[in-house]
Structures are given as C-alpha cells and as structure tokens.
Amino acid sequence: MINVLLSGCNGKMGQVITRLADGFNGLKIAAGFDINNNINNPYPVFTSLKECNVKADVIVDFSNPKAFGGLIEFAQERKIPVVMCTTGLSSEQTHVLKDEVSKHIPVFFSANMSIGVNLLIDLVKKAAKVLEGQFDIEIVEKHHNQKIDAPSGTALAIADAINETLEEKCEYMYDRHSRRKKRGRQEIGIHAVRGGTIVGDHSVIFAGNDEIIEINHTATSKEIFGVGALKASLFLAAKRPGLYSMTDLIAEIK
C-alpha cells in the first residue's frame, strides 16, 4: 500500500483526488497539507509541513506555485518522491525541479496529468513530422473563467513537442492584432479562450491548401487529472531519482 501526502488537499483538485483515492487499489491518502484547514477529510491535515509526522511514500502536489519552495525542501529532506501537478510554475521553478531536484529524488512532472492529452501530444508530433512545410499549425486552448495563466501549460507543451519534431524550428505567435502582416511560414499560433466552466479543451489545427486536419482533446471533468495523478503516484513510488513524465507512464502501461 502506497501512502500519499496530498499537498493542496482542500483545493478543488485536492478534493477530487480525495474522493477518487477512496476506491483506488494500491494506495491511500495518509495525510494532507493545506494552508486552509476548513474541510473535514478522512485523514489528518497539516497547515505546516514541518508539523507533518505521517510517513509518506509519495507526495502529490496540486497546490500553488507559491508553495513550491517549502514543498520541495520538505520532499528532499525526507527523500520522498514528488508528483508535481501544480500549474503555472515559473521557468526558474521548472528548471529547479527538472535539473536539480530530480537528481536527488524521483520527480514526476507533466504539463497535463491526463493520459488522453499526452496521447494527443504523441499524435500531433507524428502529424507535424509528416506535414512539415505543407501545413500551417495553430493551437487553440479553452478553459474556465477562473484560470489565471494563459496560454495553458498544456498548450505550450504541445507547441514544444511539435517544435522538437520539426527540422526548421518555429516562432510562437500569441497575438496578431498589433502585427499588421501576413502569417509567417515558420509560426505556431497559440490562442487562449477563457469562459464559463470549461474544464479544458485543446485543438491542434494543421491548415494546408484545400484541406484541414484537426486533432482535439476535450476534458469534461477534473477527474481525468486526478486519475492520472494517482496512477503517477503508483508508478513513481518505487522509482530511482530522476525525471519522469506521462510518456514514461504510458510506456509502462503498454
């Protein structure tokens, strides 16, 4: 049985994971961490990591970038693997996580915890390789009106994956209203839509002469991210220090 320390347990995703974990084989949430302890959970919740005295095999973090430093320090001190699900990390925080922390403990990091989204990324990489030089590429992402960061980390991850596949690298174009000229050949347009309660929608459009190919993923519930995080916890618990992602998890499933 894998014991999970859930960081951000009283947030929306934390509560989704709390509910999902109840019927998830092979793990349980042993403790939670949240600065707001205003919800009754079936496990002890600490408002300070220094006070946490519960043994944990893996940390799942769905909190806030502001909590990053303290959480990572705690994880390294206790040698606990981390499944980092928090979005909106700065480039510096991402660098620390990937290039420094992963040398000491196992780190699972993915821009999106949905297995479906990561399969989409695999598909668009294959499409980009075949269609390079013949099709323009545009990415449109849609999220709820409470999302702060734009474009989404997933949209950027899709763009990065495409760019890594192409022989000629592309420039990311986020806003065209002030740029009064034709679309450049080596561009990837990235567009953000915010409204209502949209959980998450990502479309990759390959627009060519007289034909359009569109690959789309739509999330209708936050549960898909929770399931991905719990599967990542089972995957990561026994791993050696290093950086792991959904690509590694999907490969193991295969």
Cα torsion 221, 146, 12, 226 to 10°: value is 40
Q: Of residues 142, 143, 217, 231, which has the active-site annotation?
A: 143
Q: Of residues 98, 125, 147, 239, which has the active-site annotation?
A: 147
Q: Is 143 a catalytic residue?
A: yes
Active-site residue list = 143, 147
